[in-house]
Amino acid sequence: MDFDVAAPDPAGMVASLSSLGYSLPAAVADLVDNSISAEARNIDVDFTWGGQNSWIAVTDDGRGMTQPELVTAMTVAARGPSAERSATDLGRFGVGLKTASFSQCRKLTVATARDGVWHVRAWDLGVVEHYKEWRLLRDPGDTTTALLHQIAGNMQHGTVVLWEQLSGYHNTDVTSSDERTQAQFYAEAERTEAHLSMVFARFLQRPARCRIRVRGSGLTPWDPFLSTHPSVQRIPWEPLPLGSVSVRVEPFVLPTPQRLSEAEYESAAGPKGWLGQQGFYVYRRDRLILPGGWLGIRGLRHEEKYNLARIAVDIPAEADADWSVDVRKASVVPPVSLRGHLARIARYTRDAASRSARQRGQVVSRAHGDPLRFAWNVKRHDGRIVLRINRKHPLVKAAIDGQGSKAGDVRSMIRLLEETVPVTALRMLHETDTVDDPEPFGGPGPAAPETVDIARRVYEVLLSYGHTPKDARGVLSSMSPFDEQKGFWNS
């Protein structure tokens, strides 16, 4: 065999691994994956501010590692996707610890113990780049060693993953007294807390399989489906066959906002808000991979009328390759053989969510239809959405009756109409994207008498402002909705 050995340059490899697009919360979640795989019962995430010397640590009381296991864990891609894994192992590519860490820090230290015997290894990327070798340090230095003792305390088994020289904080411009940067640091801690509450919710729900704390505060699981709420609609789940395994798909239609308390409504919105959180939630071994979205399925997009539609999808770890689970465990691509089924399930779930929101909206409209309250009326008539200015509204009525003839009164009425366009009601009433779109004055074609009367008034106003008859008709011909209808202006 005639060949060359084309080993990657360590510095280039580090730069590549550091640029995979991890957010800090997602990177911490990758470390928590390892703790759960090690059967930890207690997992602590610490954020400690110290300017350039700030650090983040994830500590667990799992089974720990032997020295050979630690070296393997610190080796990039020592265990690939094809490696045999236990039923509780949340790993996939064997690079999560390293890629997640290198994306957030320049120095990664792992200390682990089993039966009271501790082993330590560290990656210092400055050393790797200087020597152009993957030199895994056995001694992380006195400062790091002291910090490890502080974090581990009297632990007899478990693991500490320590990040130092944090990206964005380890530079000469950052000082411990920099309050603005400190606030940013702890804001990241809050975002991490929200992210972990969502990603590991199934592990935290009673009976809890583990306890996760961020800066000493225990996490409350975030249930995107409000599965214990009495008003949630649970649509029967389906098993979708995929080779020798099956994918479990269970749709939910959440309660309308009127059936939720203020706290429930705010919580159910999730980190991305109601619009951003609608769609599919893909789980792998109970770990959330995709928190909402429509999986790129053609014709499905985020729309407010579908805010109540959320669908749980459970894929077995054996189907990772079929779903193209990425290194960060943050995105998936559904198999071609399942896309039709997923689209079908999504559409009837979206329809159910839209009906629920619309029916509730109709009840609210009937209950609160005081003509003095709304400047616009929205309803469905003959399969079309009809939008009308409320002629009983005081400002509008005054203008019609001639009582609001002052310019200030008219300006107030126009401003009110501009600010109260019923966008939400229109979204709720839409059945499809285009079929029921409102069409001004009946749409294209010969103008109705009412349309001609309005056009005539506009024409007279234009003449009063000095336009010639020809110019006035030209303006009308290019003005919506007259540009799509036939009348005296284009005859």
Does 113 reside within a domain? yes
Q: Identify the pLDDT of residue 164.
A: 96
Task: Give Cβ neighbours of residue 27 (< 8 Å, ≥ 6 apart).
Answer: 100, 101, 103, 104
Q: Identify the pLDDT of residue 43.
A: 97
Contact by Cβ (8 Å): 212, 201: no
- Whether residue 478 is found in the same domain as residue 409: no
Does 3 reside within a domain? no
Q: Identify the pLDDT of residue 162.
A: 97
- Whether residue 87 is found in the same domain as residue 109: yes
Does 359 reside within a domain? no
- Whether residue 197 is found in the same domain as residue 76: yes
- Whether residue 72 is found in the same domain as residue 203: yes
Range of the domain at 332: 233-350
- Report whether the peptide linkage leading into residue 239 is cis, meaning its omega lies within 30 degrees of zero: no
Mean pLDDT per 10-residue segment, the chain (491 residues): 80 77 90 94 96 95 94 77 50 69 94 93 92 92 95 92 92 84 94 95 90 95 93 91 91 91 91 92 93 91 93 89 76 89 94 83 44 64 71 72 64 70 60 48 67 77 78 75 74 67
pTM, two decimals, is 0.70
Task: Give Cβ neighbours of residue 89 (< 8 Å, ≥ 6 apart).
Answer: 37, 317
Q: Identify the pLDDT of residue 420.
A: 67
Contact by Cβ (8 Å): 169, 53: no
Strands (E), 126-201: 158-166
Measured from the Cβ of residue 445, the count of other Cβ atoms closer than 10 Å reads 10
Does 117 reside within a domain? yes
Contact by Cβ (8 Å): 14, 129: yes
Question: Which ranges of 386-448 would DSSP assign to H, the alpha helix?
Answer: 394-401, 407-419, 423-429
Closest listed residue to residue 288, CA positions, set 309, 311, 264? 311
Last residue of a domain, which of 185, 218, 251? 218
- Whether residue 245 is found in the same domain as residue 204: no
Residue 162: alpha-carbon gap to chain centroid: 28
Does 32 reside within a domain? yes
310-367 pLDDT, tens digit per residue, is: 999 999 888 888 887 877 676 788 999 999 999 999 999 999 999 888 775 444 443 3
Residues in the chain: 491
β-bridge pairing 445-446 and 309-315 = unpaired
Does 360 reside within a domain? no
Single-letter code of the amino acid located at 377: N
- Whether residue 32 is found in the same domain as residue 136: yes
- Whether residue 471 is found in the same domain as residue 427: no
Task: Give Cβ neighbours of residue 215 (< 8 Å, ≥ 6 apart).
Answer: 45, 46, 47, 189, 193
Q: How many helices (H) and strands (E) does the chain have?
A: 17, 17
- Whether residue 346 is found in the same domain as residue 393: no
Residue 441, helix vs strand vs coil: helix
Contact by Cβ (8 Å): 107, 152: no
Q: Identify the pLDDT of residue 409.
A: 67
- Whether residue 287 is found in the same domain as residue 256: yes
Measured from the Cβ of residue 439, the count of other Cβ atoms closer than 10 Å reads 12
- Whether residue 303 is found in the same domain as residue 318: yes
Does 358 reside within a domain? no
Does 1 reside within a domain? no
- Whether residue 429 is found in the same domain as residue 452: no
Domain count, the chain: 4
- Whether residue 69 is found in the same domain as residue 122: yes
